Chains A and B, each alone.
Chain A
Amino acid sequence: MLSSLKKISQTLLAKQQSGLIIVILLLAVILTALAGSHLDKTTGKTVNNFFNPHTLMQTATDASFFAVMAVGATMVIISGGIDLSIGSIYALCGVVTAMMLRHLNIDSPTACLLGIFASVGLGIICGMLNGLMVVGLEVHPFIITLGTMWIFRGIAFVMSKAESILVPGALTAFAKANLGLNPALYPVAMLVMIAVTAAGAFYLSKTVMGRHIYAVGGNAEASRYAGLHVKRITVSVFAISGLTAGIAAFMGSAYYGSASCGDATGYELYVIASAVVGGASLSGGRGNAVSAMLGAILIILIRQSIRTLHFDQNYEWIIIGAATIIAVVLDKLNAQLTLKKAMK
């Protein structure tokens, strides 16, 4: 019994994610300790400023939009590519879906379903366009997606005439359903994050397609020699990246109640940072979905701590930037240590 527990804890510790989880838990404990508390007027109890259901749920919700996209972006990064256009795909999907639903003038669960299909479908199309251009034009994905980053957002801008478009109430009702919890808690975004991460983790580690993504990122030439369809795999990872952007766009516009062409500006960098903090290597072949999600949570948590601890918010970017670099350096040192151990 004791030995099996020891074994389990050892395998858990050996996992790449354990370091991230420890850091996240540590940060949460520190935050709880330093956050102070306030008096809840309705119940009359003292509540910790960080460790309370509302703040925790809000943090998870904030993280969910990044984390969902980070799962897709990680796949592109594992295959050796990069996708800078996800923020713009998010904006385009949100705007097109909102405009379509406005045009159809429906507000029912059907609208919700239609919205999901439209947003996800458009996301996949945008991602496939990226992939097809990378493969067909033989241009580095950094350049292609830098271009489409502007193009997609430009299309959203022209279509929406730079106006913010309201989405039907049914969508917001879905995104903010409390599922029987306290009426002011909205767990759907968090659940979507967990579901997407679980699906992504399964896809990457268990399916043939997923293993092929690692193979292409590890050594594209060897993969070609082994008869893999490298081009098809490249297109598919970009399509998945677009798909996750579509999911995030639907959740985001539904949650906030509107979509505009300025949504998710700069998200691509947060998302790439999440994947990299989660141990993905920009040279390809390394990374995983769960770590990408944890990376997103860590970044959001750092942002949250600036707010909770009443630091000057103007320092937010400096702190997040420094934290990203530190996280990657630590991960690198850890990888070197593991390698040394394995070589012995």
Chain B
Amino acid sequence: MQQDCYLKFENITKRFPGVVAVDNVSIEIAKGSCHSLVGENGAGKSTLGKILAGIHQPDSGKIFIAGVEKRFRHAGEAFKAGIGMVHQELEFCENLSVAENLCLSDLPAGAGIVNKKQLYEKARQMLKVIGAEHIDVEKRLGLLTVANQQLVQIAEAVGRNAEILIFDEPTSSLSQSETENLFRLIDKLKRKSITCIYISHRLGEIFRLCETLTVLRDGKVIGTKNINEITEDKLVEMMIGRSFEAYFPKHIKSEKGPELLRVENLSSPGKFENVSFSLCAGQILGLAGLVGAGRTELAEAIFGLDKNIKGKIYLQGKEVNITTPSQALGCGIALVPEDRKRHGLVLSMNVAENICLSILEKISNFFKSIKKRKLLEFVDKYFNLLKIKAASPWVQTLSLSGGNQQKLVLAKSLATDCNILIVDEPTRGIDVGAKAEIHSLIDELAGKGKAVLLISSELPELINLATNILVFRQGKIAGSLARNEVTQQKVLRLMAGLRN
């Protein structure tokens, strides 16, 4: 870099049990620029950000800010030095008010007693900086929508007048317009010569925002580039170490088989109404819509998680009444839930147990003790099929990267030998490499005669994979598009309630 270096990482290394998360990384970043850290999940981007924010301490290496070496023992010291971080996972105290969350590390107080008036005033100021005045600072944070919670998190980092800001996947639950607001904010911050580090999987965002970027893979620096000397294809290649073709696999055209699932006039008060569709073997039915349009709720209803539904569900022509997930699994329906950490996995259990969680009964002997040989058979099968990377079947699930965790959830569902697979946001927050693998897997499954219901907020994903797309809007089906007529624009117009 020719520009003056303001923030400098020098030979930073950080080990976690079993992995080197960050391996001898050196990066120089100019003041007032936006620098992106790019790489697959588990590449060490978030860890590097957290080291700068004082949450992790490096095993070796140094950090310099404006030429002065800095050492942060905990997050509080990094705050004081003017470093803020917007975390990928929403880290909040949901039991406290928005204002208390915003000012948690520095509650305005006299003699140890919190000054409510000042607190609310300060919180309103912080929200105003990012243009989110509509959020009520006195409301309990747990009552806000996810998008608003994310805005609060951004306000928390930005509003304290930080000199360096780290954004770790800040747009994962923001709408299009909120994302655009955030980008304008970052532009404004740069003009105030605040230095930004932007971690994202979304290449479009990186090209929109950043001047420079560093590609990380397996904790190592693959290269640091100016944004104008690199193309999207080249970037993906650097990230995954193979060519762009893998990004969106060639669609396998599968034969339409017999009807497996039919839903007629299904409604759930306050969630969705009068939903009807039919799903055949070999088909991938995509559900498009905004967050909260009722897609996840529909998936949960089919999977037996909603007791208030009205309407009819037919499996292979026979009407069924599914009221629990175990019934659903028994009928050959499996769900890959949206939130893998809360609903998909038991993070404290090991990888093998998670894969076989739904079928432990089947692989146990007469005395209900689990047959280890059978367990390992399944684990082997899915490690190979899904290319799961884990040190051994016995490592804790917590230690795996997001992409590998997502593959485990898929493996768990596939292990139940389902013929109807519902996947809800299967590639959220995972890297391009794992994404491509999951895309081709879904395609293959349909090719093998499974019926797939695919919920996704990423339009390219839906358009490339689905044989048919149903667009949801405010709990109703706003339209249906076949594969040959679908365009991104048509889907967007339906989602927004405009006529085509």
Contacts and interface: CB of A to CB of B under 8 A. Distances in A.
A218 B79 contact: no
Contacts of A208: 107, 109, 112-114
Contact of A225 (B77, B91, B113): B91
Given A223-B93, A285-B93, A215 B104 contact: yes
Contacts of B140: 342
A342 B143 contact: yes
A227 B95 CA distance: 18
Nearest to A284: B95
B92 interface: yes
Interface string A301-344: 00000000000000000000000000000000000000100110
Among A214, A215, A224, A226, the most chain B Cβ lie within 10 Å of the Cβ of A226
B308 to A, nearest CB: 14
Contacts of A223: 93, 104
Identify the 10 closest CB pairs spanning chains A and B, nearest first: A227-B76, A218-B93, A285-B95, A222-B91, A218-B95, A227-B105, A226-B104, A227-B75, A226-B105, A215-B93
B87 interface: yes
B233 interface: no
Interface of A: 206-209, 211-212, 214-215, 217-219, 221-229, 285-286, 339, 342-343
B182 interface: no
A285 B93 CA distance: 8
Contacts of B75: 224-227
A214 B222 CA distance: 43
B104 A228 contact: yes
A246 B95 CA distance: 30
B93 A219 contact: yes
A223 B75 CA distance: 10
Interface in B80-97: 85, 87, 91-96
B327 to A, nearest CB: 25
Interface in B48-71: 53-55
Given A219-B93, A226-B104, A207 B55 contact: no
A286 B76 contact: no
A221 B96 CA distance: 14
Contacts of A285: 93-95
B100 interface: yes
Interface in B101-132: 104-105, 107, 109, 112-114
A252 B76 CA distance: 43
A214 B107 CA distance: 13
A11 to B, nearest CB: 14
Contacts of B96: 211, 214-215, 218
18 contacts: A207-B112, A207-B114, A208-B109, A208-B114, A209-B112, A211-B104, A214-B95, A217-B95, A219-B92, A222-B93, A222-B104, A225-B53, A226-B75, A226-B104, A227-B78, A227-B105, A228-B76, A342-B140
B191 interface: no
A298 to B, nearest CB: 24
Contacts of B93: 214-215, 218-219, 222-223, 285
Contacts of A218: 92-96
Centre residue among B93, B96, B105, B114 by max chain A CB count within 10 A: B93
B147 to A, nearest CB: 15
B74 A227 contact: yes
A214 B104 CA distance: 11
Given A215-B96, A225-B91, A227-B79, A207 B104 contact: no
A250 to B, nearest CB: 26
Contacts of A339: 143
A339 B143 CA distance: 8
B92 A222 contact: yes
Given A211-B104, A211-B107, 14 more contacts: A207-B109, A212-B104, A215-B93, A218-B95, A219-B91, A219-B93, A222-B91, A223-B104, A225-B85, A225-B91, A228-B76, A228-B104, A286-B95, A342-B140
Nearest to A209: B112
Contacts of A342: 140, 143
Contacts of B109: 207-208
B348 to A, nearest CB: 14
Contacts of B113: 206-208
Nearest to A343: B143
B82 to A, nearest CB: 13
